[in-house]
Every structure is written in structure tokens, then in C-alpha cells.
């Protein structure tokens, strides 16, 4: 969001407008291609290219005074931060819990249920219900692990809400009836 605002309020130049177009293209690719591909556990092809175009356009901004130099430096900080979070997002959807960790968890769950069945409880009904509750609890733990292992797929997946908000803000800014407010000192 910070990078969007920096680009949006950069002094009105042709380079800044071109940078905004490239940046919005990157945002569109994140929403329209990257997140749907991540849901299917695939990498995006267009998004890295459009992200590189944002870097390229930003490198070719020509700041004319000290204020613009500082603003471009801040924009690069935001862009590098965005690159870091994008890399973490890609890593989190590519990596998953390996089978070498799943087998001990499953084996431990089975051993726990078998050991709880061997306990001598006087009332059979209570014994069955306690074991059923333990099995349900272990199943819920596995379900939560699966959800967290694949955070971009399924009904409870992570959605690109912040990216969509940028498009909404840009749409509001471009509406003919929109009023721009200027800060009052």
C-alpha cells in the first residue's frame, strides 16, 4: 500500500505515470494469475516479469531535486519490502511438510489411540466416548496442519485482498465525481 501511495503522489511526470501503469499491471497479474495458480500449486509466469518491469521503470525515474531523490529511495525501500514478502509467499506455497515428518505423526497418533484403548476403564460407554474424543481431537490437529501446510488452496485460503484494495482505490481516484482532498495545515 505504501508503494502505491508513493507512486500515486510522486510529482506529476511522464515516468511516474508509466511506473503506475506497470505497477498496476503487476497488481493485476498477482490477482488474476499468481493467486489462482498458487491455489493449484503452480508458479506464475507473468507476475515475475511484470515485477521486474516495475523495478526497471523505477530505476529509470529521474529525480530532479533532493525531495524527489528521497522519495525514490523510499519507493525502492517499499519495492524491496514487497519483493521480500513476495518471495516468502512463493516459498510458503512451494514448501510443504515432507513425508518423513508425516509418518511419525501418523504413527504417534495411532499408538496414542491404541494405548488409550488399552486403559482399564470400568464403564464401556465412557471408555468408547473418551477414545472417540481423542480420535476427533487428533483428526482436528491433522486438519489444521493440512490447512496451514497449503494456505493458498481450499475454501479457507489466503486471498489477495490488499491487492484488490489497491485496484479499488485507483478506481475511486479515477472516477469523474471523485474529489481530491488536500491536507489543511
| CA atoms of 74 and 63, how far apart (whole Å) | 12
| CA atoms of 142 and 136, how far apart (whole Å) | 10
| CA atoms of 90 and 148, how far apart (whole Å) | 14
Predicted model pTM: 0.74
Q: How far is C-alpha 148 from the chain's CA centre? A: 13
pLDDT in tens, 105-164: 999 999 999 999 998 888 999 999 999 999 999 999 999 988 888 888 878 888 888 888
Residues 107/165, Cβ–Cβ less than 8 Å? no
pLDDT in tens, 40-83: 888 888 999 999 999 999 988 888 889 888 999 999 999 999 99
Helix (H) or strand (E) holding 89: helix 66-94
Q: Which residue has the higher pLDDT, 81 or 13?
A: 81
Residues 22/57, Cβ–Cβ less than 8 Å? yes
Confidence (pLDDT) at 5 = 86
> Would you state the cell numbers that stand for residue 83, as one nine-digit string?
519483493
- Phi, psi torsion values for 63, nearest 5 degrees: -65, 140
| CA atoms of 42 and 21, how far apart (whole Å) | 26
Residue 180 has pLDDT above 70, yes or no: no
Amino acid at each position: 500500500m505504501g508503494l502505491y501511495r508513493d507512486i500515486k503522489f510522486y510529482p506529476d511526470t511522464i515516468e511516474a505515470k508509466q511506473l503506475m501503469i506497470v505497477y498496476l499491471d503487476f497488481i493485476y497479474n498477482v490477482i488474476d494469475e499468481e493467486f489462482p495458480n498458487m491455489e493449484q500449486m503452480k508458479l506464475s509466469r507473468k507476475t515475475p516479469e511484470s515485477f521486474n518491469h516495475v523495478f526497471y521503470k523505477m530505476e529509470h525515474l529521474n529525480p530532479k531535486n533532493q525531495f524527489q531523490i528521497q522519495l525514490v529511495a523510499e519507493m525502492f525501500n517499499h519495492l524491496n519490502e514487497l519483493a521480500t514478502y513476495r518471495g516468502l509467499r512463493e516459498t510458503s506455497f512451494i514448501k510443504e511438510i515432507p513425508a518423513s515428518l508425516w509418518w511419525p505423526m501418523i504413527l504417534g497418533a495411532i499408538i496414542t489411540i491404541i494405548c488409550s484403548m488399552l486403559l482399564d476403564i470400568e464403564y464401556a460407554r465412557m471408555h468408547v466416548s473418551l477414545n472417540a474424543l481423542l480420535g476427533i481431537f487428533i483428526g482436528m490437529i491433522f486438519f489444521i496442519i493440512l490447512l496451514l501446510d497449503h494456505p493458498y488452496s481450499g475454501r479457507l485460503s489466503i486471498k489477495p485482498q490488499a491487492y484488490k484494495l489497491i485496484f479499488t482505490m485507483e478506481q475511486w481516484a479515477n472516477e469523474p465525481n471523485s474529489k481530491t482532498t488536500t491536507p489543511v495545515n
